[in-house]
Structure formats: structure tokens, C-alpha cells
Amino acid sequence: MFKKILIANRGEIAVRVIRACHEMGIEAVAVYSDVDRDALHVRFADEAYHVGAPPASESYLLADRIIEVAKQSGAEAIHPGYGFLSERAPFVEACKKAGIVFIGPEAEVMEKMGDKVTARQTMQAAGVPIVPGTTDALTDEQAIAFSKEIGLPVMVKASAGGGGKGMRLVKDEKDLQSSIERARSEAKASFGDDTIYVEKFVEEPRHVEIQILADQHGHAIHLCERECSIQRRHQKVVEEAPANRMTPELREAMGQAAVAAAKAVNYHGAGTCEFLVDKHMDFYFLEMNTRVQVEHAITEEITGVDIVKAMIRVAAGEPLGIDQSEIQISGHSIEARIYAE
């Protein structure tokens, strides 16, 4: 087991990881920008190091500086939390090159699941249901032709997209070209990649995600589901676990699909498979988040499994030590976010 871990984050998630470290007898190293000098995570940690100016691009996103501090402090591993460097494959590779363990999946897994076209191809090959649509990148002409073929409405999506960016709902044929152009432009500006694909629009969808845990010994389990359908501008506002209108049969099928998804890419760590569930209770793979989620705590509440501690143990090479048959749901948990607009 690690003796010292650096947490490359701030705020709530940094405090959450530090608490897990302390409960496991591991020293925690915090990093901070000028504005976070007196923040709770800094005071809570065993050691704290300054990494730069207030803008994240000049502090928390400085991969080289974070790794330099990890070496300076003697940290053996880095927990990225969520956001910032948590899903950046080059950072994972840089950690590996520096001899520091990244608490999360391998870089190639992150790249594969981060590209939605590649992820759709991988899931289809693994037998995981995907939304009807293309599994290849499309030219404008191909996107228009395919949309007409499967029938509108359709979703035009950026392969590198997320959070609603690079995504357009098209209900009228005359809007296809302009929607494709806008999706490409937004994707290029936000992600540096204007690759697009097309999906059939799922009407009256629910957004349900499955939490998974997987170790480096081929063992993977799911921790049931979270309902994330209440959203504002494609951003989650209320999450609850377990989901409403969920049957034991659907839970089992979705859980098995999420585990199959993890095994298909040799995933290890904590991850989340997001699905759309239609009005007929059919479900489709949407994407996989290769990090701990903001809303992980509600799953911990109903299952009693400490997800952050599990991530640390798995990264250290230990087996999960828990079987699917041991996962039981107890109670109901809700998390709500406050949006300032």
C-alpha cells in the first residue's frame, strides 16, 4: 500500500480523498494556487505545496508542476479527483514515465473511452447496446445521407464532446447542414477535434448511470445505478440512488452491460457507464466517465462501499475484495447541485 498520495485537486473532492487517505493510514499531500492558500484541503492535508496563480491553467492544470511536487514530496501516487487532469491521457503517461502511480485507468483506456466514436465501436463489439446510429466518423455529406436514411429526429454529436457541447438535435431536414456545421465548429473550439457522428434521437429519455469498480486482476462489479435525468443545459442538477422506475431485471441487465464494458477495455479503478433509457425501458450505452464522479457519495450511501478507498487499493495492485453478490441496496440517497447563473 502507498505511504503518501498527492491529491491534484482542490475543494470538496480534495478533502474527500484526503479523508480516505487518513483513514487508511496514508499521508496526504495537497497542492494549491495563490487564492487557495487557506482553503480547507490545504489545512486538512499533511503537507501542502504551492503550484501557481489562481487560473487553473496556471496551477492545477500544470501537469509538469504537479509531477514535480509529487517527486519533491515523496508521493508514490497521484489521485486526480474529478475535472482538471482527471481524464487527460498525456498526464497519465507522464506519471508513468516519472515512476508515479496514477490512481485511475491506463492512458490508452482513457483515450479509447474518451473518443465517442471509438467507444461506440468498442461497446458494439462487446455486445453492449448502443443508440442506433453510426460507429464511424462522418463527412457532412455522409451525415446528411445517414440522417435521412434512419429518419429524423437525430442527434449530431462531436466524437470528443461532453457536457452538451458539440451536440445538436435536428428535427427538420432543412436544418441538417447548419446543425452539422455548428456542431463541428463548437467541437473544434471546445475540444480541438471536429469529428462528428449521428445517432437516432431517443424520445422521452431518462439518464441512468451505473457505477463500476474493477481491479487489475480481471475482477469487476457494479454498485447499482444513479438517476441523473433532472438536468439544466445538459448538466446534472439532481442525482438519486437508486433510480426511480427501476426493475430488478433492468438493474441486472444494465449492471451486466456496464461490467462487460469495463472488461472490454481492461478497465481498472472506479468508472461510470452512462446510459439512456427510453419509454419502453430499453437502454443504450451513452459514454463512460473514467474517473470518480461528483455524485459518487450517493452510491456510497446506499451500498456502504467506499469508492475512493477502493480506487486507492486497486491502484496499489490489491484485489477488490468484494463480490457482486455482496452488493445490497439499503435506503435512498439524493444529491442536489446549486447553480449560479
At the top level of CATH, the class of 132-200 is: alpha beta
pLDDT of residue 233: 83
Residue with grid cell 437525430, as numbered in its chain: 154
pLDDT of residue 18: 99
Is the alpha carbon torsion for 88, 240, 215, 72 positive or negative?
positive
Distance CA 81, CA 214 (A): 17
Short-list 319, 110, 108, 113, CA closest to 219? 319
Catalytically annotated residues: 291
Cell numbers linked to 63: 501537469
Distance CA 237, CA 232 (A): 6
Q: What residue ranges do the domains of the chain occupy?
A: 4-103, 132-200, 206-336
Is the alpha carbon torsion for 278, 282, 287, 292 positive or negative?
positive
Burial profile 179-214: b = 16 or more Cβ within 10 angstroms, e = fewer: bbeebbebbeeebebbbbbbbbbbeebbbbbbbbbb
- For 206-336, the fitting CATH number among 3.30.70.260, 3.30.470.20, 3.30.750.24, 3.40.50.620 is 3.30.470.20
Average pLDDT by stretches of 10, the chain with 341 residues? 99 98 99 98 99 96 98 99 96 98 98 92 96 92 94 92 85 95 90 92 94 98 97 91 96 98 98 96 95 98 99 99 97 93 77
pLDDT of residue 282: 96
Distance of alpha carbon 239 from the chain centroid: 15
Q: Provide the CATH topology of domain 4-103.
A: Rossmann fold (3.40.50)
pLDDT of residue 81: 98
Distance CA 315, CA 310 (A): 8
